[in-house]
Amino acid sequence: MPVATPKQFAAMLDAAQKGGYAYPAINVTSLPTINGALKAFAESKSDGIIQVSTGGGEFASGTGVKDMALGAIVLAEAVHILAERYNILVALHTDHCHPKNVEKFLKPLLAATRARRAAGKGNLFNSHMFDGSELSLAENMKVSTELLKECAELEIILEVEAGVVGGEEDGHDTSGVANEKLYTTPEDMVTVYETLNGLGRFMFAATFGNVHGSYKPGAVKLKPEILKDGQAAVTTKHGAAAEMDLVFHGGSGTPLEEIRETLGYGVIKMNIDTDTQYAFTRPIADHMLKNYSGVLKIDGEVGDKKIYDPRIYLKKGEQGLCDRMKDACNDLLSNGKTIFGTV
C-alpha cells in the first residue's frame, strides 16, 4: 500500500531526520502531474510527498464547480489508486491553508478522512498545513492548537508556519510584507514547540528569507543559520529529543549548497512548485512552437491530429516534471532511501 499509513509516514519522517535527508513535496493539479511525480519517486527509489493547494484543488474540480475541497479529494483518491502500482511510499499533504479557507478546505478534508475511517479505510491525507502566518503568533498558535488536536484524533500530522514566506502563490501575495517578518526568530520557535508539544505530531515551516516563485541568482537572501539557531534554542531548553521536523518552503531555484545546509538543521520536507510548473510547461511550449502548423488549422488546412492530440504534449509535460523531480530527490539526498517494505 504505497500511500503511507500514519505509522509509515511517521517512520518516513523519522528516517529522514535520522539520515540527514529530506523529501521533495510537489504540488499537483492533474493526473499528468501526479503520474510524473510518482514515476520520479519510483525511478529514484525515493519516498516522497504529493500535496494539493487550495488553488490546485479548485482547479481540479473544474471551472464549472470551483470547489477546492472537492478537487483535493479527487486528486487524493487518484493518488491512492495510482500509487498502488509503485514500490515506494508517498504521503499526501495539503499546502498553505490560510485562516479564511479553514472551514471550506481543511475541515471538509478532515471530515472526508473521518468518513473513510468509519468505513474501515485508511486516511485520505497524511498531513495538512495550516498557514496562520498572517495572524499574530498568539492567535496563530491558538488556531493551530485546535486543529492539531483534531488532526491527532485522526492520526494526521499538522504543519504550521510562523514567519512569512515571501512572494506570491495561489493568489496569496506577501511581497509587501516587512522584511523582518521573513525570518522566524529563535523565540518564535521555542513558543511554537512549547505550545504544540504533546498535542500531536507536527511539522514546522520556519522562515529564513525563503520565497515562493523563481528569481535570478542573488535576489533572494536566505539565512539557513536561522534554522540552526532556532533548533538550538529549543533543544537547549528542552533536550535533544525536542528537535523539530522543519519544512523548507519556496525551494524552487535554491542553490544546492543552501539546500544541503538546511538538511543538517532538521529540514525533512522541501516544497517544490515553481520549478516543476516550468518543467511541465517547457516541453509543451517546445512542442507547440515546433509544430505550429500541425496544432493549428492554418489557412484552411486541417492540422495534424497526431500533433494536437492533448495526450501527445501532456506526456511530454509529465516527463519534464518527472526529470525535475528526480533532480530534487538527488538534491535532497532521498534517492535510494525508500523504506517501502520495511515498515
Kindly list the catalytic residues: 95
In the structure grid, which three cell numbers stand for residue 66, read together?
470551483
The amino acid at 90? V
SS3 letters for 229-289? HHHHHHHHHHCHHHCCEEEECCCCCCCHHHHHHHHCCCEEEEEECHHHHHHHHHHHHHHHH
- Per-position b or e across 53-76, b if 16+ CB within 10 A of its CB: bbbbbbbbbeeeeebbbbbbbbbb
Q: If we measure between CA atoms, which residue out of 165, 163, 222, 160 comes closest to residue 193?
A: 160
**DSSP SS3 for 21:** coil
Q: How far apart are CA 246 and CA 231, in angstroms?
A: 9
In the structure grid, which three cell numbers stand for residue 326, read together?
528526480
User: What are the φ and ψ backbone dihedral angles of 124, each rounded to 5 degrees?
Assistant: -70, -50
Instruction: Report CA-CA distances (Å) from 183 to 229, 230, 259, 292.
Output: 12, 11, 17, 47
Angle at 250 between CA 78 and CA 171, to 5 degrees: 70
> For residues 302 and 14, is the Cβ–Cβ distance under 8 A?
no
User: Could you give the residue ranges of the DSSP H alpha helices within 125-221?
Assistant: 137-153, 186-196
Q: How far apart are CA 60 and CA 334, in angstroms?
A: 29
Q: If we measure between CA atoms, which residue out of 108, 116, 87 comes closest to residue 3?
A: 87
The amino acid at 86? Y
What is the length of the chain?
A: 343
Helix or strand run (H / E) with residue 168: strand 168-169
